[in-house]
Structure 1
Amino acid sequence: MASSTSWRPGLFDNKVVFCTGGSGSICSGQVRALVALGANACIVGRNGEKATAVAAEIALVRPGSTVLGLGGVDVRNHDSVKGAVHTCVRRLGGIDFVIAGAAGNFISTIDDLSVNAFKAVVDIDLVGSFITAKLTLPHLAASAERAKASKDSGSPSLTGGRIIFVSSTNYHAARIAQAHVCAAKAGVNALSDCISLEYGPRGVTSNVIAPGLIDDTEGAKRLTDPALRDELVRSVPVQRLGNIKDIADATVFLFADTGSFVNGSTIDVDGGAWRIRAAGAGPSYPALPSRERGGQQGATSKM
C-alpha cells in the first residue's frame, strides 16, 4: 500500500513532483504515494539504470501516470541539477512539489573521519539540498500562484508550491559515529526554516520530515544489527519500527490542503524514539514502573 486509505483518490491530479534521491527506499515510497493519488513525477539520481527501473515500478501504481527516471544527476553540481529541472519542466509542464531527499551516510567516529569524508556528506545532504531548492523555488512560486488562482476561482482543494526536505531525528541529539550526518542534517533543517521565511509570502511552504528508524530500508539494513531488532523495537514508545508508509502519509499531509498552514516545521516520524535517546539510555519498554506492580510506590521510596 503506497499510503493510508484516508486520502482521497485524485488528490494530486495534474501535479508534478520533482524528487532527488528518488531511487532510494524512503523517497521512492514518498513519490509512489503521490503518483497513486494522481501526480506525475521526476526522480533523479546518480545511477541511471536504477533511476529508470524505480521510475518504471512507481508508474505501475496508477495506469496513465508519467514517471521520469533521470540518471547521472549529481546534486552537488549546479549544472547537473539544472539540467534535470529543465528536463522535468519541459516534459511534465512544471514543478508543483519538491522532495529533497538525496543523502549520504556511513558509520565513522571522529577519530577515523577524514575531512574529505565529512565534506562528502555535507556536500550531498546540505549543499545538494540548497542547489535543489535554489533551482526549483522559482517553479514552486509559480505553482503556488497557480494554486492561489484556482482557489480564488472556487477550487479550494488544489495546492502547489511545496517543498519537503528529508532529514533525520539525529538533529535532536548527538549520536556516536554520526558527527557528519548530525552536522549536515542540522544544516538542512536550518535551510528549510530560512526558506519558509523568505518564500512564505510567495505562497511556498517549506518543511522537514525527519524519519527515525524505518524498517526495510537501505539505511536500516546498513546501519543496524539485525540481532538487535527486538531491543530496538522495545526502545520505541509505540512499540514498533517505522515503515515507509508512515513517511508517505506525512508527505501527503504536507502536500495536500491539510498542510497549507504548516510552514517552517519539522515532523518527526519516529514513534517518539528520539525522546528516549535524548534522555540517555532510557527505559526499555515494557519494563516500566506500573501501579499494578506497586511501581509508583517503589519509585517514591527510592527518592
Structure 2
Amino acid sequence: MFEASLMSGQRILVTGGGTGLGRAMAERFLGLGADVAICGRRQSVCEETAAEWRQQFPERRIDTFGVDIRIAQSVDDMVESLFQSGGLTGLVNNAAGNFVAPTESLSPRAFDAIANIVFHGSFYVTQAVGKRWVAEAKAGKWKEGDALRSVMSIIVTWVDNGSPYVVPSAMSKAGIEVMTKSLAVEWARHGIRLNAVGPGEIPTEGMSKRLNPGEEPGARSKKTNPMARTGRMSELQNLAAFLMAPGQCDWLTGQSIMMDGGNALATGGNFYELRQWSDDDWQAARERIEAQNQKDKAQR
C-alpha cells in the first residue's frame, strides 16, 4: 500500500507505545522507515517491545521511556531529552485508560484515574512537543515549504453523542477532540497539523477486559456492527501511516476520522445497552476489571 521509505527521516513519539494500538502503530512506522520513541508507565514492557523491534528493524533508532504522563515535569523531561537528541517530527497521543461503571458509583479517585491520563496527560505531551516546534519555527528552523510536523490523537467514536457508563473517558476524549481542532488553527502557521482518529472495536487484552468484561472479544461487534466484525489492527496502522507521513495530505488538519465500519452511525457506538445489567452483573464486571488491574500492576 505504501512505499517502504514513506516515513524515512521521521521520528515519532507514541505514548502507550509498548502494547496494544500504540505498539501496532509504532511498528508500522518503523516498517516504513521512521525512527520511533515509545513511553509508558511500565518501563520493562517498553524495553521488551523495543528489544523485539531492534531485531526486526536493526537500522532504526528506537528510544524508550518509563514515564507517567500524568506528571507534567516527567513529560517535559522526556520531551526535552528527545529534542536534545535530534528532535521529533510527529506525536501520537495513544496512552489511555477506561473502564465501565455506573457513574453514581465513581469516586473522585476513579474519575481522576481516567481524566489524569487521557485529558491531562494528552495535553501535557502535546504542549511539551508543540511548544518546541513553535520555538523552532520562530527561530527559522522550520519555514514554509518544509515538511509539516504532525500530531495524531486517539479518541472514541462517541465524542459527539457521549456514552453512559464511561463518563470520565467520554469527557476526556471530547476534550482531546476540541484540543485537536483548536490547536490545528492556532499552530498551523508554525507548520503543525493535528488530527484525531476514533477507532471502533479493535480487540486488545487490556481494553477488552475493562470495557467488555466477561464477553468474548469482538462478540458485540459481530452482532451489531454493519460490517459484522471488529476492526483489524492493519486498518488502524494504515490510517495512522497516512496521517503521520509527510506530504500525503498536508491540507488535512483539525479533523476527527471515525473508523468503525459504520457502527456509530448505526448504533451510537456507545455503552447504552449496559442499562440492562443487574447489580450482580456489575459486581462481576468490577471483579474482572480489578483482576486485570492487578495483573497490570504486577508487570510494572
Say whether the fold is shared (TM-score over 0.5). yes
State whether structure 2 residue 238 is matched by structure 1 residue 262.
no
Aligned position for 1:298: none
Aligned position for 1:130: 123
CA–CA distance in structure 2, aligned partners of residues 113 and 193 of structure 1? 30
Question: Taking structure 1 as reference, are residues 230 and 38 closer, same or farther at Cα in structure 2, changes over 3 Å only?
Answer: same
Q: Choose from 85, 89, 93 the match for 1:96.
A: 89
Q: TM-score, normalised by structure 1?
A: 0.81
Check the 8 A contact 1:96/1:139 in 2, yes or no.
no
Paired residue secondary structure (2:196): strand
Check the 8 A contact 1:16/1:40 in 2, yes or no.
yes
Paired residue secondary structure (1:81): helix
CA–CA distance in structure 1, aligned partners of residues 239 and 128 of structure 2? 24
Offset at residue 279 of structure 1 (A) = 8.9
Aligned position for 1:48: 43
Paired residue secondary structure (1:226): coil
Report which stretch shifted further, 37-46 or 229-238: 229-238
State whether structure 2 residue 28 is matched by structure 1 residue 33.
yes
Offset at residue 140 of structure 1 (A) = 3.7
For 1:115-264, list aligned pairs within 5 A. 115-141=108-134, 142=136, 151=145, 159-224=147-212, 225-227=214-216, 229-256=218-245, 257-264=247-254
Offset at residue 220 of structure 1 (A) = 2.3
Aligned position for 1:155: none
Check the 8 A contact 1:167/1:209 in 2, yes or no.
yes
Question: Taking structure 1 as reference, are residues 201 and 107 closer, same or farther at Cα in structure 2, changes over 3 Å only?
Answer: same
Q: Deviations over 1:213-258 (max 9, x none)?
A: 1024531243224347444213112222012211111111111222
CA–CA distance in structure 2, aligned partners of residues 247 and 47 of structure 1? 24
Q: Deviations over 1:36-95 (max 9, x none)?
A: 111111111111111111222233442311111111x1111111001111222233x110
Aligned position for 1:273: 263
CA–CA distance in structure 1, aligned partners of residues 229 and 268 of structure 2? 19
CA–CA distance in structure 2, aligned partners of residues 37 and 146 of structure 1? 25
CA–CA distance in structure 1, aligned partners of residues 229 and 55 of structure 2? 29
Paired-residue identity, %:
24
Offset at residue 21 of structure 1 (A) = 1.2
Question: Taking structure 1 as reference, are residues 179 and 87 closer, same or farther at Cα in structure 2, changes over 3 Å only?
Answer: same
Offset at residue 133 of structure 1 (A) = 0.9
What stretches of structure 1 of length at least 5 have no aligned partner? Answer: 1-5, 153-158, 283-303
Check the 8 A contact 1:173/1:278 in 2, yes or no.
yes
Offset at residue 177 of structure 1 (A) = 1.3
Check the 8 A contact 2:163/2:270 in 1, yes or no.
no
Offset at residue 105 of structure 1 (A) = 0.9
Q: Deviations over 1:108-160 (max 9, x none)?
A: 111211122112211110111111011101344448976756x57xxxxxx34
Check the 8 A contact 2:100/2:210 in 1, yes or no.
no
Aligned position for 1:87: 81
CA–CA distance in structure 2, aligned partners of residues 230 and 112 of structure 1? 27
Paired residue secondary structure (1:171): coil
Question: Taking structure 1 as reference, are residues 281 and 200 closer, same or farther at Cα in structure 2, changes over 3 Å only?
Answer: closer
What's the RMSD between the two structures over aligned residues?
2.4
> How many residues matched?
268
What stretches of structure 2 of length at least 5 have no aligned partner? Answer: 273-300
Q: TM-score, normalised by structure 2?
A: 0.82
Report the structure number with the largest CA radius of gyration: 1
User: 1:178 corresponds to which letter in structure 2?
Assistant: V
